[in-house]
């Protein structure tokens, strides 16, 4: 029996940006591909990939880097994709470097969700403040602050070593249920409002 995929953003009402991420026509899982066609959402691009604004940013700075070629997810990758992933990382890192030149206090992680909710491979580029009204629930938090978030450099290493990225879906989905923990000091918090006010103390 086919298992239904959940959308971690189904509880989102409106994108934070006033600019519409894409037309609402079509299946929501294809939303990123539509957004790639919207010039107002594109921040960087080259021959191989496009970097877009995340329509429901979970931090002050949150972008997605997608290949132009139709690669659906980590599962579709093989050794021939190493240079593409390196290129995507370079595009993301170059943009991060520009942002950090303006504000050296910013810190970022660049990586992939073990089990993504949207189709077309996408690398998250996200600042570590997690200061956003779109960051609402435990799944959002744990998707960026447990092993569910796999650094881009780790994915590239896996691909070079094993020729594939193996994702144990059951294991990764369990990670989303872990208790909430601050990503800076490691202390446990009982709910999202407490976590969100706690992380502001690290600013």
Catalytic residue among 62, 113, 122, 124: 122
Token pair for residue 83? 């240079």
- Between 134 and 156, whose beta carbon lies closer to ligand AMP? 134
Residues 26-85 that bind ligand AMP (CB under 6 A): 31-32, 35, 52, 54-56, 64
Residue nearest to ligand AMP (CB): 31
List the one residue out of 4, 21, 57, 32 whose CA is nearest residue 119.
32
The correct pick among 91, 110, 116, 142 for binding ligand AMP (CB under 6 A) is 116
Segment contacting ligand AMP by CB under 6 A, of 103-111, 116-124, 169-177, 184-192: 116-124
Q: Which of 43, 82, 184, 189 binds Zn ion (CB under 5 A)?
A: 184
By CB under 5 A, the residues from 69 to 98 that bind Zn ion are none
Choice between 112 and 188, CB closer to ligand AMP: 112
Residues binding ligand AMP (CB under 6 A): 8-9, 21-22, 31-32, 35, 52, 54-56, 64, 113, 116-118
């Amino acid at each position: 029996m086919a298992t239904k995929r959940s959308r971690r953003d189904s509880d989102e009402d409106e994108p934070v940006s006033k600019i519409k991420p894409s037309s609402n026509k079509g299946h929501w899982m294809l939303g990123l591909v539509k957004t790639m066609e919207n010039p107002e959402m594109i921040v960087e691009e080259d021959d191989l990939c496009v970097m877009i604004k995340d329509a429901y940013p979970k931090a002050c700075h949150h972008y997605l880097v997608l290949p132009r070629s139709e690669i659906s997810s980590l599962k579709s990758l093989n050794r021939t994709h190493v240079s593409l992933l390196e290129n995507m990382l370079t595009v993301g890192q170059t943009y991060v470097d520009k942002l950090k030149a303006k504000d050296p206090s910013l810190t970022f992680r660049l990586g992939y969700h073990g089990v993504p909710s949207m189709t077309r491979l996408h690398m998250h580029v996200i600042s570590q403040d997690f200061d956003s009204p779109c960051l609402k629930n435990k799944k959002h938090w744990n998707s960026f602050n447990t092993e569910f978030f796999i650094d881009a450099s780790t994915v590239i290493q896996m691909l070079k070593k094993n020729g594939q990225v193996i994702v144990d879906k059951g294991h990764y989905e369990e990670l989303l249920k872990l208790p909430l923990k601050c990503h800076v000091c490691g202390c446990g918090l009982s709910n999202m409002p407490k976590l969100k006010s706690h992380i502001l103390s690290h600013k």
